A and B are shown apart, each in its own frame.
Chain A
Amino acid sequence: MKIAVCIKQIQYIYARTGRDPKTHFIAEEDRIRMINPYDELAVEEAIRIKERLGEGEVILITLGDLMAERALKRCLAMGADRLIQIHDPYFKKLDPWTTSMILAKAIERLTPDLIFCGKEAVDDHNGQVGAYLAEWLGYPYISCVVGLELLPNKKAMRVSRALGRGDKEILECLIPALFSVEKGINEPRYPTLPNLLKAFEQKIECWDGKTLGLQMDEIQPMTEVVEIQYPRPRVKRISAPDGHLNGFERVLNLLAGSKMEKKGRLLEGSPEQMAAEIVRFLRENGIIKD
C-alpha cells in the first residue's frame, strides 16, 4: 500500500517580545520552526498502517523552503520511506487553493492508495487543503479522523470521525481515499537515534514546477493576504494593564505577550450566595440549559 502524507513546515509563534513594529513585534526567538503537529499525527498514522499491513511505502510531501529540515527528517525517522520537497522559485504567495493544486500534481505522480494530512495547520488555521486535494484528485475525503481500520477486503476503510465534545461518527469509504486527522488519533512515536541519524543522511527528493509539468498561469490564487496586522490585545492572552506597574513595565508586559494570568472574578460570601454565583456562571455560559 502506498501512502502519501502532506506535511507542512510552520513557524509557530508563541510570544511577542520584539521591539520592531516592522516585524509586528515578533522577535526571532518568538518563532519556532517545526512541523505542524497535526501533520505529525498523520505521519504516525500512515506508518502504523504500513506496519500493521507489514508492507507498503510512506511518502512524505512538503511544499516550500526547507525551513525546518531537521524536523522534516525527524518525521522520516519515525518510519517513513521517502521525503519529497516541492519547491520552485515560481511559487510565491501560495494560498490554500494554489497549494492544493501543486500538491495534487505531485500526488498524481505517486498514485497513492491513501493520503493523509493534518486537519489544519496551527499557524494559519486554514484547514482547506485536504478537502481541495480530495476534490482535485477525485478521492473520497473524511476530515477530523480519530480512528482508522482497513476492512478485511482491503478495499475500504472504516473511519471514526470526531464531531467535537467527544462525539464521534463511524463512516466507511472505499480506497483510495484522503483523510485529515484530528488530535487523539494516536500518540506520535519518538524516533530512535539510529533511525534519526539515518534520516539525517537520507536525501530529500526535490521536485519543481517543471517536474510536475505545472503551468503557473493556470494556477491562480483565490485569496490574497494584503496585510499582516498587529492584533489588538486579546483578553485571554494579555493581562489587563496592572496598576502596580509603571508605564514602561506595562509595555514590557504587553510585549512579552505571554499567557498572562486571567483576571477572573474572585468572590467570597455565604455558601448560598457562592452556589448561586456558580450556577449563574454555568447558565450564562450555556453549561446548563434553562
Chain B
Amino acid sequence: MGQEIFIMMEQKEGVMEEPSFSLLSEGKGLRERLGSSHLLSAIVMGDGIRNLERELGSWGADRVYYFESPLLKRYQSDFYLNLLSGLVGEKSPDFFLFGATSLGNDLAPRLAARLRVGLITHCVDLYVDQNRVEVIKTISDQFLHQKLVFRHSGLRIVTFSLHALMRGDQDFQKRAEVIKISPKIEPGQERVRFVNWLKADPKTIGLEEADIIVCGGRGVGKKTFEMVHQLADVINGSVGGTRPVIDWGILPYERQIGQTGVEVSPTLLMALGISGANEFTVGIEGSKMVIAINMDRKARIFKFADLGIIGDIHQVIPLVMDQIKKVKKES
C-alpha cells in the first residue's frame, strides 16, 4: 500500500468532534491533489469509542488507528507524543494534519521536535505542485499571507487554522478500516503529571475567558434583569453588563464590559438592550459572533452584529428561551 496522510482526530468523552471532520475533508482534498494514491488515516485516541469505521469512513478516512486506553481519554502530552512518534516511525506518513486547537497547538510542535521534521502552523491553504508542497498561512493579524515550503522530504506536519477549515460532503457508504491498538502505557513515567481537570463554570469564570457571554444593557431594565441570567443559563453563557447596569448595583464591577471594564473575546456575545456607545463597543471588538437585540433600528450596536434583531427583548427573549428548551428536549 502507498503512503499515508495522517489526520489527528479529537474526541471529548468518547464522542468525536470538530475539527476532526473538517480535517478529514481537508485531507481528502489533499489526497486528490497528490494524485489519490495516498491513504487517509485518522488517528484516534481515547477509550470506548464506537462506530469509528462508519463515522470516520463517511468523512473520507480509509483507515483509523485507534489507540484505546483509559489513560488516553484526555489529552496528555507525554502519552500522546510517545504513541504518535512510535506510529509515525512505523508507518512513515507523508503528511500529518492537525487542527489548530488546544491539543493541536500543543502536540504538533512537540511531535515535530521529537521527529526532527518541519512544522507549519495556522495554515489556511495547502497547494501541491508536483512534489513541492506550498503552505499558506496568515500573518500580521491577517493583513498579510505567507507562502512557505518545507526544506526537507518525508513527513510534513501542518496545523490548520480553524476558521479556514470547511467540512466537505459525507459518503455514508464508505467504511474505514479500524486498526485498534491497545498501547502499553506506564503511568508514572511521564514528565508532566496530570493532577486535575477544572471544567469552566460560566457563572464564575472571568469574562475574559468566557466563551459565550450574554450582556445586558440599560434597555433590559433594572427590574427585569433576571432575564439575562436566565438566558445565560439556557445557553450556558456568562453574564456581563454595560456600565449603567453596573451602576445600578445589580452586577459586580468585574462583570462590566467596555472602556472602564473588561475587554472580552468570546465566540458569541449576545447584546441585549445595548445601544452600542463607543465606550462599550471597544470592549467587544474581539468577539467572533455578535447577536444584538434592540428596539432602536438606528442603534449603533447593529454595526457590530452578525445578527441584528429589531425588537423588544422583553418579548423576544422569553420566546427564545422557550424554543431552546424545546430543541433541547427533542434531542
Direct contact of A and B (CB under 8 A): yes
In whole Å, how far is B251's beta carbon from the nearest beta carbon of chain A? 18
A279 is contacted by which of B210, B268, B320 (Cβ under 8 Å)? B320
The B241-272 residues at the A interface (CB cut-off 8 A) are 267-268
Report Cα–Cα, A265/B306, bound state, in Å. Answer: 6
Q: Chain B residues near A224 (CB, 8 Å)?
A: 148-149, 151
Q: A13 touching B143 by the CB < 8 A rule?
A: yes
Instruction: Contact check, A135 vs B151: say whether CB atoms are below 8 A apart.
Output: no
Of the residues B122, B141, B199, B302, contact of A14 by C-beta under 8 Å: B141
A165 at interface, CB cutoff 8 A: yes
Q: Are B198 and A265 interface neighbours, CB within 8 A?
A: no
Q: Which residues of A contact B145 (CB under 8 A)?
A: 228-231
For window 213-241 of A, CB contacts with B under 8 Å fall at 220-231, 234, 236-237
Q: Are B151 and A290 in contact (CB under 8 A)?
A: no
Which residues of chain A have C-beta atoms less than 8 A from B138's C-beta? 125, 231
- Which chain A residues numbered 141 to 191 have a C-beta less than 8 Å away from chain B? 141-144, 158, 160, 162-174, 183-184
Cβ 8 A contact of A132, one of B113, B193, B315: B113
Q: Map CB proximity to A onto B145-178 as digits: 1 under 8 Å, 0 otherwise.
A: 1111111100000000000000000000000000
Query: If the complex has contacts A126-B121, A234-B142, are A285 and B268 also in contact, measured as CB distance less than 8 A?
Result: yes
Interface string of B194-214 (1 = CB under 8 A from A): 111111101001101111100
A271 touches B319 (CB 8 A): yes
Which one of A108-116, A198-206, A255-263 is at the B interface? Answer: A255-263
Binds A, one of B56-64, B86-94, B222-230, B283-291: B283-291
CA distance A257 to B315 in the complex (A): 39
The one of A168, A220, A221, A227 in contact with B147, judged by C-beta atoms closer than 8 angstroms, is A227
Whether B71 sits at the interface, judged by CB under 8 Å, is: no
Is B50's CB within 8 Å of the partner chain A?
no
Verify B121–A128 contact, CB threshold 8 A.
yes
CB distance from B118 to the nearest CB of A (A): 3
A58 CB, nearest partner CB in chain B, Å: 23
Q: Determine chain B's interface SS by DSSP, over half rule.
A: mixed
Shortest C-beta distance, B110 to chain A (Å), equals 5
| Bitwise interface map of B from 264 to 282 toward A, beta carbon under 8 Å scored 1, else 0 | 0001100000000000000
Query: Is the pair A271, B117 in contact by a Cβ cutoff of 8 Å?
Result: no
Size range of the interface on B?
Answer: 35 or more
Map CB proximity to A onto B35-75 as digits: 1 under 8 Å, 0 otherwise. Answer: 00000000000000000000000000000000000000010
Interchain CB contact (< 8 A) of A228 among B119, B120, B142, B144: B144
Pairwise interchain contact A135-B304, C-beta atoms closer than 8 A:
no
Say how far B187's CB is from chain A's closest CB, in angstroms.
13
**B102 interface residue per 8 A CB criterion:** yes
Whether B193 pairs with A122 at a CB distance below 8 angstroms is: no
Name which residue of chain A comes closest to B289, CB basis. A285
- Select the residue from B134, B193, B210 with max chain A CB neighbours within 10 A: B193
Partner of A184, one of B74, B206, B297: B206
Chain A interface size range: 35 or more
Interface residues of A in 62-121 (CB under 8 A from B): 95-97, 119-120
Is there an interface contact between B323 and A229, defined as CB atoms closer than 8 Å?
no
| Closest partner residue, chain A, to B151 (CB atom) | A224
Most buried by B among A11, A222, A229: A222
**Is A131 within 8 A of B309, CB to CB?**
no
Chain A nearest CB from B75 CB (Å) reads 8
Task: Assess whether B146 is in contact with A169, with CB atoms less than 8 Å apart.
Answer: no
Contacts of B297 in A (CB 8 A): 266, 268
Q: Besides A13-B141, A223-B151, 20 other CB < 8 A contacts?
A: A127-B105, A127-B109, A131-B113, A132-B112, A142-B192, A164-B211, A168-B197, A170-B196, A173-B193, A184-B209, A224-B148, A262-B304, A265-B307, A267-B308, A274-B293, A277-B307, A279-B324, A281-B291, A285-B268, A289-B331
Which 3 pairs across A and B sit closest by C-beta, in order of nearness?
A166-B200, A222-B118, A275-B319
Q: List 9 A-B contacts (CB under 8 A).
A: A96-B109, A158-B195, A167-B198, A225-B147, A257-B143, A275-B317, A279-B324, A287-B267, A288-B235
Q: A residues within 8 Å of B by Cβ?
A: 11-16, 24, 26, 30, 95-97, 119-120, 122-128, 130-132, 134-136, 140-144, 158, 160, 162-174, 183-184, 220-231, 234, 236-237, 257, 259, 261-262, 264-269, 271-272, 274-279, 281-283, 285-290
